């Protein structure tokens, strides 16, 4: 078993590249299935493949195929404990664009549940989910703004200074759109319109915030009535292009595109009075919130480091546990064989005494070697100890 991670994220790849490898749930599941024992985690800020035993080159090639271009220079490749530590940090929200953001833990869970991981991946993902939950309950790293949606609202507030009375057109009525609406409304903005491919879905969200549901085709005609557009659909192509934006405006129009792939045509930024921000622009908002989170982040990092140490111990034990089991099985086989030689020559009471005494002798003889092998498991000597035991007791020949 060999844990390998190959991926890219907002740390190394711009949104233009990330959107080409962003996969929906079905596509992520299909990509993981190509490697058998694998989990694919794909969000707006990362696409990562965790595999057990697959050739690293094949994983790199698969991601390049998805991107439609070589990914040299932007992929990170991690193995064993480093890969596990990375996953733990991801689940804890420590590797996110918005440190401490809450959505990522659910995304890790969904990726895990969509796959069919073997023993190694199952163990490491269960650990990741556990440490992610601990970080959220035992630290305050998730305080606002702790998500892309809340950061978008904070960015809008920075631009306007005051959101009270500002009218918002929300494109996308999914979970991210709902969170964005809540954050904007909490800052005093008015959710004037909710546009969605399915108008009934838009109506449900619009009614909660006193807005009006509209179809995607109506967006252009409503832009003259609003101040802010926040878009968060899962559409594979832009839902609003520059040609749909009215040429003459009496007031600035602020666009926030938090979708990957992007919903809004980049040419919108070139129009007079229009200001377009995408998900990468939220980094400035994040930077201003980091100072207050550093102590909590340090506590979260310690929880993650502790979990990584536990993974290292467990992973190393896989080298020695089979050797310990084989040694004990071999010793028990010898004990049983020798006891069989006295069958019919001793009484039942004597037989029980021999069983007890020989069992105690065996356990005492094997106790110290077992302890020493388990201690060695957490160091680089673990595999060496296991190999030595197999050689000394002829366990390889047995296998």
Catalytic residue positions, numbered: 44
What span, in angstroms and rounded, lies between the C-alpha atoms of 373 and 365? 14
What span, in angstroms and rounded, lies between the C-alpha atoms of 267 and 200? 30
Place of tokens 């869970």: 109
What phi and psi, each to the nearest 5 degrees, are found at residue 143? -70, 155
What span, in angstroms and rounded, lies between the C-alpha atoms of 172 and 210? 16
CA 214 to chain centre: 34
Q: What is the largest CA-CA distance in the chain?
A: 108
Residue 274 CB-density burial (10 A; 0-12 exposed, 13-18 middle, 19+ buried): buried
Alpha helices (runs of H) in the chain, residue ranges in sequence order: 15-21, 25-33, 56-67, 80-91, 103-114, 119-138, 148-160, 175-186, 199-209, 219-222, 283-290, 294-340, 348-376, 382-392, 395-398
2 contact partners, CB below 8 Å, separation of at least 6? 52, 53, 79, 80
Strand partners, 264: 240
Please say whether the beta carbons of 18 and 45 come within 8 A: yes
Phi-psi map region of 385: left, alpha, beta (phi>0 left; psi -120 to 50 alpha): alpha
What span, in angstroms and rounded, lies between the C-alpha atoms of 199 and 196? 6
């Amino acid at each position: 078993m060999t844990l390998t991670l190959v991926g890219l994220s907002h740390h190394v790849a711009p949104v233009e590249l990330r959107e080409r490898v962003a996969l929906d749930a079905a596509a992520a599941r299909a990509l993981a299935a190509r490697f058998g024992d694998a989990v694919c985690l794909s969000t707006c800020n990362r696409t990562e493949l965790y595999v057990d035993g697959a050739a690293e080159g094949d994983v790199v090639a698969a991601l390049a195929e998805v991107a439609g271009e070589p990914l040299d220079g932007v992929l990170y490749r991690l193995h064993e404990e480093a890969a596990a530590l990375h996953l733990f940090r991801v689940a804890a929200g420590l590797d996110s664009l918005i440190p401490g953001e809450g959505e990522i833990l659910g995304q890790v869970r969904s990726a895990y549940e969509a796959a069919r991981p073997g023993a190694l991946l199952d163990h490491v993902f269960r650990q990741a989910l556990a440490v992610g939950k601990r970080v959220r309950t035992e630290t305050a790293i998730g305080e606002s703004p702790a998500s892309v949606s809340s950061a978008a609202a904070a960015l809008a507030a920075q631009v306007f200074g005051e959101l009270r009375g500002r009218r918002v057109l929300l494109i996308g009525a999914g979970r991210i759109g709902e969170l964005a609406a809540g954050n904007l409304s909490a800052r005093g903005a008015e959710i004037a319109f909710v546009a969605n491919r399915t108008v009934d879905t838009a109506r449900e969200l619009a009614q909660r915030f006193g807005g009006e549901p509209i179809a995607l085709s109506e967006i252009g005609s409503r832009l003259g009535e609003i101040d802010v557009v926040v878009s968060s659909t899962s559409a594979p192509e832009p839902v609003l292009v520059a040609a749909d934006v009215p040429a003459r405006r009496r007031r600035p129009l602020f666009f926030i595109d938090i979708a990957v792939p992007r919903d809004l045509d980049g040419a919108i930024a070139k129009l007079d009075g229009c200001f377009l921000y995408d998900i990468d622009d939220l980094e400035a908002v994040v930077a201003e919130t980091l100072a207050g989170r550093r102590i909590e982040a340090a506590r979260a990092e310690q929880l993650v480091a502790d979990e990584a140490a536990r993974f290292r111990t467990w992973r190393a034990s896989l080298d020695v546990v089979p050797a310990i089991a084989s040694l004990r099985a071999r010793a028990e086989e010898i004990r049983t064989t020798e006891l069989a030689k006295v069958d019919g020559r001793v009484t039942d009471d004597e037989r029980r005494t021999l069983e007890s005494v020989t069992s105690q002798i065996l356990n005492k003889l094997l106790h110290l070697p077992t302890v020493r092998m388990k201690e060695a498991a957490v160091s680089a000597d673990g595999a060496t100890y296991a190999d030595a035991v197999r050689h000394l007791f002829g366990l390889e020949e047995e296998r």
